[in-house]
Amino acid sequence: MNAAQTKEAAQFINEQLSNQPTLGMILGSGLGVLADEIENAVTIPYSEIPHFPQSTVAGHKGQLVIGQLEGKQVIAMQGRFHYYEGYNMKQVTFPVRVMKELGVKSLFVTNAAGGINESFKPGDLMIITDHINNMGDNPLIGKNDDELGARFPDMSKAYDVELTNHAKACADRLGLKVQEGVYVGNTGPSYETGAEVRMLRTMGGDAVGMSTVPEVIVANHAGMNVLGISCISNMAAGILDQPLTHDEVIETTQQVREDFLNFVKEITKSL
């Protein structure tokens, strides 16, 4: 994945738009319904976009939806690319580069995650205040393109403080109880063992998932403002005495869908 490919993909998308999006959204497992709220939508399957990888997981649609949400020009990914699918970090984060090229300034990243913090419960929404890259890889490895960003980008404010505070105010306004915490990015695809979850808790993690961290690193490299929201779809291993299934992840995200939709729409409206 290189700058020329990014430009080609962005140009292909741009040709189909009458307005430039300024707000990007990556919609995680079961959360893609948000894209159905986008008005005057232009929908582009990933398969049509030059250099875009294809998405393979159930519950992930695999298309860009571009249009207006609460009066803002948005571009949403309905389905993302995961490292565990076998894509490399450059492929996983390619859409973020393309969004930047299209003029996106702020990026909302969402995911379904397992609760590590024992005070959380399935169905909680969590504002991501920080993350731990536990994937053993980094999308910025390799020659740095100084046009795109710094060789050693600062990650001390990876999740924009203003956006985070704004999201908290929106939750209050809606009377939504929203958690805050640290997201741990693991590669998956296996879920954690109980011992691993205890380790992640000791490390300072509140929720664990298999995405988001690569995209947030690239968004920071590119100078975008990031807001992260996790839907706690289940508790991580060893907290409740029950096995984890992807079906449970999808089921819970369906249950919180109204809260999630209202929350993101309120954040967008008053941005």
Catalytic residue of the set 46, 77, 83, 85:
85
Distances in whole angstroms, Cα of residue 239 to Cα of each of 51, 180, 236:
41, 19, 6
**Nearest CB to ligand 6GU, comparing residues 225 and 230:** 230
Contacts to ligand 6GU from residues 21-40, by CB under 6 A = none
Binding mask 132-171 for ligand 6GU (x = CB under 6 A): ----------------------------------------
Does the annotation mark 165 as catalytic?
A: no
Phi-psi region of 177 (alpha: psi -120 to 50; beta: other; left: phi over 0): beta
**Amino acid letter, residue 91:** Q
Nearest approach, Cβ of residue 209 and ligand 6GU (Å): 4
The verdict on 208 binding ligand 6GU (CB under 6 A) reads yes
Residue 83 appears among annotated catalytic residues = no
Q: Does 231 bind ligand 6GU (CB under 6 A)?
A: no
Residue 224 near residue 107 (C-beta atoms within 8 A): yes
Considering only residues 13, 65, 99, 236, which one is a binding residue for ligand 6GU as defined by CB under 6 A?
236
Token look-up 């969402």 returns 110
Indicate which single residue of 133, 233, 253, 268 sits in contact with ligand 6GU (rule: CB under 6 A). Answer: 233
**Binding of residue 249 to ligand 6GU (CB under 6 A):** yes
Interaction residues for ligand 6GU, span 88-127 (CB under 6 A) = 112-114
Under DSSP, the state recorded for 138 is -
Cα 88 versus chain centre, distance: 17
Options 37, 101, 124, 192; binder of ligand 6GU; rule CB under 6 A? 192
Identify the helix (H) or strand (E) that includes residue 195: helix 194-203
Residue that is written with structure tokens 């879920």 in the block: 191
Q: Which residues pair with 234 in a beta bridge?
A: 114
Q: Residues 194, 200, 202, CA angle at the centre, nearest 5°?
A: 105
Regarding beta strands 63-69 and 39-45, do their DSSP bridges make them parallel or antiparallel, or are they unpaired?
antiparallel
**Interaction of residue 209 with ligand 6GU, rule CB under 6 A:** yes
Would you tell me which residues interact with ligand 6GU (CB under 6 A)? 112-114, 186, 188, 191-192, 208-210, 233-234, 236, 244, 249
